Amino acid sequence: MGTPDPDQVNLDAGAFTPTEAPNARANHQAIWLGISNWIYHLPRWHSSRIFPVPHPPYAVITAHWQLERVKHDIQLKPDDMAMLEDYLRHDYVAYLESEGGPNWKLRDETYKGKTISGAPLPQYQIDDILAAHLKSPPSSYEPLISNGMHWLRYLWDPMQGMPNTLIYTTTLLPDVLLTVDFHIARMNSEPWEDWWDLFMEDCEILVKTITCQRKELPSAGVAVSE
């Protein structure tokens, strides 16, 4: 299931709105282009099916297509993946670590924490809390070129070992990114290996179908077809 594809997109500043969870990973201003989802079910031969109990699927995948405004008036080069990677790395770190960000809030709350007796938390307990709950930015970015578009593929895995979203991002215009997010909602505790490779292949196939045409139009900057 999904939403209709837009024929053209207005890139006026007022057209962009704040992103919402699960896409608020770095608080971008965005224009939503479409959404779709699908399910990875357990195969019929799976051993758990011999028991007469409900069998939840492996995962539900929700894909979001959106345009994101580049922050801080930074101008990117559409085909420069190194420049895009540098921007994304700095953006994630700034989002997580700046005042008010998730990691900043966690440290602030932890260092202000008290024991049952009202004493400050011991350092070993602070270290344990931070080690378990601090979020990490994406660790690697993989380049992909398709239909003349230069993409970076990366995994939003903030808790390390529990991937949240597979993301493809390309620089559409110097101040606009085109992003496809594949959000993962796991439905059972079966091994990732049972469905992960198929998920990665399906996402890449979808992204490789995307093409883009740029047109000079009054009050609009780009026409997008998928």
Determine which helix (DSSP H) or strand (DSSP E) holds 197, and give its type and residue range. helix 196-207
**Contact (Cβ atoms closer than 8 angstroms) between residue 223 and residue 6:** no
CA 216/CA 210 separation, integer angstroms: 20
pLDDT at 220: 47
pLDDT at 2: 47
pLDDT at 144: 94
pLDDT at 42: 78
CA 8/CA 23 separation, integer angstroms: 22
Determine which helix (DSSP H) or strand (DSSP E) holds 97, and give its type and residue range. helix 81-97
Interval 21-45: pLDDT, tens: 455 567 788 888 888 999 998 776 5
CA 177/CA 169 separation, integer angstroms: 7
CA 221/CA 226 separation, integer angstroms: 17
CA 113/CA 153 separation, integer angstroms: 38
Task: Show Cβ contacts of residue 168 under 8 Å, excluding neighbours closer than 6 positions.
Answer: 144, 151, 152, 153, 179, 180, 203, 207
pLDDT at 179: 94
Interval 172-209: pLDDT, tens: 999 999 999 999 998 887 777 888 999 999 999 999 99
CA distances from 42 to 55, 61, 188, 189 (A): 8, 14, 10, 12
Structure tokens at 92: 């994630």
pLDDT at 1: 45
The DSSP secondary-structure symbol of 1 reads -
Q: Are strands 211-213 and 176-186 parallel, antiparallel or unpaired?
A: unpaired
The DSSP secondary-structure symbol of 203 reads H
The closest of 180, 108, 113 to 144, measured between CA atoms, is 180
CA 60/CA 79 separation, integer angstroms: 32
| 3-state per-residue secondary structure call for 103-161 | HHHHHHHHHCCECCCCCECCHHHHHHHHHHHCCCCCCCCEEEEECCEEEEEEEECCCCC
Report domain extents, the chain.
16-42+55-94+141-225
Residues in the chain predicted with pLDDT less than 70, given as ranges, are 1-10, 13-15, 19-25, 44-54, 214-226
pTM here? 0.82
pLDDT at 153: 97
CATH of the structural domain 16-42+55-94+141-225, one choice from 1.20.120, 3.40.30, 3.40.1000, 1.10.3470: 3.40.1000
